[in-house]
Structure 1
Amino acid sequence: MTITITAFEWSPDGGKGLARDTRVRWALEEVGQPYEVRPVSFAAMKESAHLALHPFGQIPTYEEGDLALFETGGIVLHIGERYGGLLPDDANARARAITWMFAAVNTVEPPILELVIAKLIEGDKPWRAERLPLVEDRIRGRLNQLSARLGDADWLDGAFSAGDLMMVSVLLRLRPSGILDEYPDIAAYVARGEARPAYKRAFDAQSALYNGKPPTG
C-alpha cells in the first residue's frame, strides 16, 4: 500500500524543516518506507475533502490503504508500531520511548510554541515586551530539566527512538531564538538528530518542495 502524506503547498518557514510534515517524513525515512507527498494550499486545508482527513484543517495527514491519521505524534507512533526501527523491542523500553514522545509534544513544545506566537502573531501587541521574558523563562525551566535528565548520554533512553525524533523536532523550533545555544548539551543532542541520514533525507525532501519561495499564479 502506498503511503501518502500531506504537506503545505508553501510553508512560512521556507523549507527549513520546521513544518510538522518533516517529523513524519523523518519517521518514514528511519524505517525505510517510501511515501508520496500531496501538497495542500492554505485554502484547500479548510475545504471538506481535507477536513475529512484532518478535522482541524492542518497538516500533515497520513493515508495508508483505508487508514487515515492526523497529528504527528499519533502518526509517528503508528509508524513506529507498524515498522521496525523506531521503537525498542523490549516492552519497558518501548513504553519509555512512547512516554518521551508524549513529553516532547505535551511538556516541552507548548512553551516553545508560545514563544513563536508571541513573536510572530502577537508581535504588535502592547504586552509583548512583558510577555516574552515570561515565556522564555518557562522554556528555560523545561530545558534545565531536560538537560539534567539527558546528562552526557547521546539519546534520552538508550538507543535512538521515536521519543528522540519527536523531541529533536520540537527543540529545532528554538534555534532562531538563540535559547538553544545556552544549553550546549541539548544543542549537541539536536545536532546528533540532524546528523542522522534519515533526517537529512527528510529535510532535503521538504526543502526541495518549498525551495524557499511561495507559489506563483
Structure 2
Amino acid sequence: MTPTITGFTWVPQFARGFVRDIRARWAFEEAGQAYAVTLIDGDYVKSQTHRRFQPFGQIPTYRDDQVEIFESGAIVMYICERANVLTPADPAARARAVQWLIAALNSVEPFVMALAINDIFEADRDWSKKRHDKVVEDLNGRLKDLSDALGGRATLDGGDFTFGDLMMVSVLGGLRGTGVLDSFPDLAAYVARGEQRPAHVKAMADHLASFTDAVAA
C-alpha cells in the first residue's frame, strides 16, 4: 500500500502551517516518496475508532504494509531511515541525530507550546497576560541553551542536515510570527535555511492546500 498519514480536514486559520502532519510530509518530500493523506475531522480524531490506533486522539498517524505508528518524531525517523535520507551512515552521527530529534520534542517543544497555550489557547483566562512574561523568560532560557549548542554551525551536528535538524526546525517553526526568534539571529537563520529546503516548501504548500481543498469540497 502507499504509505498513508492522517491530517485534519480543517483547522482555524492561526493553526494552519503548524499542525504536525507537516513534519511527516516534509520527511516524505526529502525521501522523494509518494504518500497519501487521509483527512479526518475533530470528532473522528477523538473517536474510539481512531483512539484504537492513536490512543491520545491526535494526528499524524502513519500506516504502510509493515507498520502502524503514531507520534511525529517516530514517523519522521521511520520515513527517513526507511528511505536512507537525512540519516547519517556513521553510527555515532546517527545516534546524535536521534539525540537531537528527541531533544527537539522533549527539551524544546514544551517551552514553545507553553507560549502557544498561554497566548492563544488560554488567552481569555484571567491569568494569561500576567503569566506571559514568565513563559517568554523560560522559553528564552531554553533557546539560549540551544543557540549555545548550535554554536554558529549550519546544522546541529555541524555536518549534513539530518532528521534531527528536520525535527528541530519544525519545532522552532512553531514560533513563526511571534518575534521570539528575533533575539536569536543564529536560530532564526537556522530555521530559515531549513524552511527554504525544496522539500519543506513543497510539504508546506501541500499542507496548506489540504484545508482549501477540504473547504471547497
TM-score scaled to structure 2, two decimals? 0.94
Report SS of the residue matched to 1:37.
Answer: strand
Aligned to 2:166: 165
Report SS of the residue matched to 1:38.
Answer: strand
CA distance in 2, matches of 1:15, 1:105: 19
Aligned to 2:180: 179
Give the partner amino acid of 2:106: N
Give the partner amino acid of 2:164: G
CA distance in 1, matches of 2:31, 2:98: 16
- How much has 1:13 moved relative to structure 2? 4.2
CA distance in 1, matches of 2:14, 2:4: 22
Q: Deviations over 1:107-144 (max 9, x none)?
A: 00001101111012221222112211111011101111
CA contact (8 A) 1:15 1:206 kept: no
CA contact (8 A) 1:8 1:41 kept: yes
Residues 75-90 of structure 1: matches in 2 within 5 Å? 75-90=75-90
C-alpha root-mean-square deviation of aligned residues, in Å? Answer: 1.7
Unaligned runs of 5+ in 1: none
Report SS of the residue matched to 1:156.
Answer: coil
CA distance in 1, matches of 2:141, 2:27: 28
Q: Deviations over 1:1-22 (max 9, x none)?
A: 3100000111224674211000
CA distance in 1, matches of 2:196, 2:216: 33
Aligned to 1:206: 207
CA distance in 2, matches of 1:86, 1:136: 32
CA contact (8 A) 1:15 1:210 kept: no
Deviates more, 1:11-20 or 1:103-112: 11-20
CA distance in 1, matches of 2:15, 2:57: 20
CA distance in 2, matches of 1:186, 1:23: 19
CA distance in 2, matches of 1:174, 1:5: 24
Percentage of matched positions with identical amino acids: 47
Q: Deviations over 1:141-198 (max 9, x none)?
A: 1111111111221111111000110000000111222101111111110000011011
Moved over 4 A (4+): none
Aligned to 1:62: 62
- How much has 1:77 moved relative to structure 2? 1.5
CA distance in 1, matches of 2:100, 2:11: 27
- How much has 1:86 moved relative to structure 2? 1.7
Task: Decide whether aligned partners of structure 1 residues 16 and 125 sit closer, same or farther in structure 2, where only a CA change above 3 A counts.
Answer: closer
Report 1 or 2 for greater relative contact order, CA contacts < 8 Å, sequence distance ≥ 6.
1
Task: Decide whether aligned partners of structure 1 residues 214 and 67 sit closer, same or farther in structure 2, where only a CA change above 3 A counts.
Answer: closer
Aligned to 1:191: 192
Aligned length: 216
Give the partner amino acid of 1:95: A
